[in-house]
Amino acid sequence: MSVLKCRDLRKSYGDLQVLRGIDFEIEKGETKVIIGPSGSGKSTFLRLMGLLEPPTGGKIFFEGRDVYTSGLDLNIIRAKIGFVFQEPSLFRHLTALDNVKIGLKCVLKVNNDEATERAMEALKAVRMEEWANYYPAQLSGGQQQRVGIARALAMDPDVILFDEPTASLDIELTWEVIDVMRDLAKRGITMLVVTHEIAFAKEVADEISFMDGGKILESGPPDQLLRSPKTPRARRFLTRLLGGI
Amino acid sequence: MFLLDYSYLIVQGFEMTLVMTFLGLGGGLVLGVLSALGDVYGGRALRALIGAYVEFFRGSPLIVQLLLFYFSVPTVTGVRWDAFTAGTVTLMLNSGAYQKGYFKGAIEAVFKDQLLAAKSLGMTFWQTLRHVVLPQAFRVVIPSWTNEYVSLGLSTSALIVIGLRELTTVSKSIAAQTFKPLQVYLLTGLIYLIWISASLKALDHVYSRVRIPGLEVSAEAS
């Protein structure tokens, strides 16, 4: 059964249609990547799947249950869906460790000692355990982003959504974040990633989807989609992105 | 040293000044935080109500507010209240109106991305407020709050118009009895000065204790 699934998902802001009917699902252990030009609705799609905004049409299912009609507590489901944002959005008054602990303590009601233990484990997984007692302002963008990943990871979510986590980082910092994400994918963490890091997508994705104009135009295994996209728009986008590789 | 004879009066007056300052600031803190939250997260009617409250207390002199509350509340409600109660309530309302502005700015300084991050963890509105928004807002607000402390502390001398026996009121009666206004008022001014500068030092110390890297404020005032 799919962890997260949507059917005919739609979102409009006033007259502006951002998502025009998306069908998508991701199963336990899978890594799926979404690519597409900016303004194609990728971030909006991810925010809807993370239950951070309600859709204006269509349905979202978490482990088979329609999240908006079966009377579920949305906060309980949100706790099971990790989210990593484009901008490192750490709580600025908390150390790296406390940033990772806050969800465990407030939402999952884990006691302090266990929260510390789990948080340190998550920080280790992103290679940030030595920075546990530093505040966000004392960390680089890449380090902040890795703490953000640890914060999501520590909740032991069923899926983690990544919204272009390296878009605001320079190349060197991008690598350290991508390395961590590669580790997670290999550990079997279920991941849905919006990114333009094609090497990463090629190596770990089970499927890549190309989005444009608020729709998924095509999906396929990395080799097929990257080498021989079927739609002209995906072909044009990939030619530009890969710069003639 | 004629003033020694009156020293117990001066101490009593100063005590009253301190009590009024702390009651006004404390009550104003609660009112300020609540109205800031109401203004940021509340509906239209609540926001209009808060707007009118703030407008009135920031847009009219404290002395007029004191006179209005002390003399008109008994005539309207039929309940007599003393200068102490009337003064406390007026100072609280007045300070709350100013503190609302400071807290609103500080609450809005907590970026939206952090609110979204809290939501993604499954935190409720109240958990987010308690664990994310307010701890940051309280730190950011300290410099403006320091100004409010100074401003309200010195403004307590306006309580003379309702006859409350705080430092200024007491000084005036001593000056009248001794015919030595120069010495009496100089001493009074000195007491205010020492009190306020000592408080500022203490508040600075508090500020440095709770400071967090990255949450410093480019102190617009202070």
Crossing angle for the helix pair A112-125 and A141-154, to the nearest 10 degrees: 130
Binned at pLDDT 50, 70 and 90, residue B102 comes out as: very high
Smallest Cβ distance to B123: which of A80, A85, A107? A107
CATH of A2-231, one of 3.40.50.2000, 3.40.50.300, 3.30.2320.50, 3.40.1350.10: 3.40.50.300
Average pLDDT, chain B: 91
Q: What is the pLDDT of residue B28?
A: 97
CATH architecture of B2-210: Orthogonal Bundle (1.10)
Say yes or no for a CB contact (<8 Å) between A85 and B117.
Answer: yes
pLDDT at B172 exceeding the cut of 60: yes
Cβ atoms B96, B30 nearer than 8 A: yes
Contact B113 A85 (CB under 8 A): yes
Q: In A, which residues are within 8 Å of B122 by CB distance? A: 75-80, 103, 107, 155
**Given this model, what pLDDT does residue B217 score?**
56
User: What is the nearest CA distance from A143 to chain B, expressed in angstroms?
Assistant: 15
For residue B221, the model assigns a pLDDT of 36
Provide mean pLDDT across the span B25-50: 95
Q: Taking CB atoms and an 8 Å limit, are A85 and B214 in contact across chains?
A: no
How far apart are the CA of A173 and the nearest CA of chain B, in angstroms?
Answer: 21
Closest-CA residue in chain B for A135?
B213
- pLDDT above 60: residue A153: yes
Q: How confident is the model at residue A58 (pLDDT cuts 50, 70, 90)?
A: very high
Give the pLDDT band of residue B218 (cuts 50, 70, 90).
Answer: very low
Predicted confidence (pLDDT) per residue in A181-204, tens digit: 999 999 999 999 999 888 899 989
In this prediction, residue A244 has a pLDDT band, given cuts at 50, 70 and 90, of low
Q: How does pLDDT run across B118-161, given as a tens digit for each residue?
A: 999 999 999 999 999 999 998 888 888 999 999 999 999 999 99
Q: Bigger pLDDT: A239 or A116?
A: A116
Residue A152 forms contact with B (CB below 8 Å) = yes
Residues A219-234: pLDDT tens digits?
999 999 998 899 999 9
Q: How far is it, in rounded angstroms, from Cα B132 to Cα B40?
A: 15
Does A78 contact B at CB distance below 8 Å?
Answer: yes
Q: B121 and A107: CB-CB below 8 Å?
A: yes
Q: For a pLDDT cut of 70, what percent of chain A falls above it?
A: 99
Asked if the Cβ–Cβ distance from B120 to A83 is below 8 Å, we say yes
**pLDDT at A172 (0 to 100):** 84
- Output the CA–CA distances (angstroms, integers) from residue A111 to A80, A108, A119, B68, in the order listed: 18, 9, 12, 53
Cβ contact, residue pair B120, A107, below 8 Å: no
**Which of the four pLDDT bands, split at 50, 70 and 90, describes residue B112?**
confident
* CA distance linking residue A166 with residue A5, whole number of Å: 25
Q: A76-106: per-residue pLDDT in tens?
A: 999 999 999 998 899 999 999 999 999 999 9
- For range B1-16, the mean pLDDT: 86
Best probe of the A interface among B116, B120, B132, by most A CBs < 10 A, is: B120
CA distances from A143 to A97, A170, B68 (A): 13, 12, 58
User: Domains of chain A: which residue ranges?
Assistant: 2-231
Q: What is the pLDDT of residue B2?
A: 67
Average pLDDT, stretch B6-29? 95
| pLDDT reading at B74 higher than 90 | no
Res A162: pLDDT: 96
The sign one gets for the Cα dihedral A181, A183, A184, A185 is positive
Inter-chain contact A135–B212, Cβ cutoff 8 Å?
yes
Residues A2-46 have pLDDT tens digits of: 999 999 999 999 999 999 999 999 999 999 999 999 889 999 999
Q: What is the mean pLDDT of residues B56-72?
A: 95
Determine the average pLDDT of the residues in B62-88.
91
Model pLDDT, residue B194: 97
CB contact, 8 Å: A82 with chain B?
A: yes
Contact yes or no for B122 and A87 at CB 8 A: no
Residues in chain B: 222
Q: Which pLDDT does position B1 carry in this prediction?
A: 59
**Residue A106 and residue B213: Cβ atoms within 8 Å?**
no
* Mean pLDDT of the residues in chain A: 93
The model's confidence at residue B75, banded by pLDDT at 50, 70 and 90, is: confident
**ipTM, 2 decimals?**
0.92
Instruction: For residue A137, give how far its alpha carbon lies from the nearest alpha carbon of chain B (Å).
Output: 5
pLDDT higher than threshold 80 for residue B179: yes
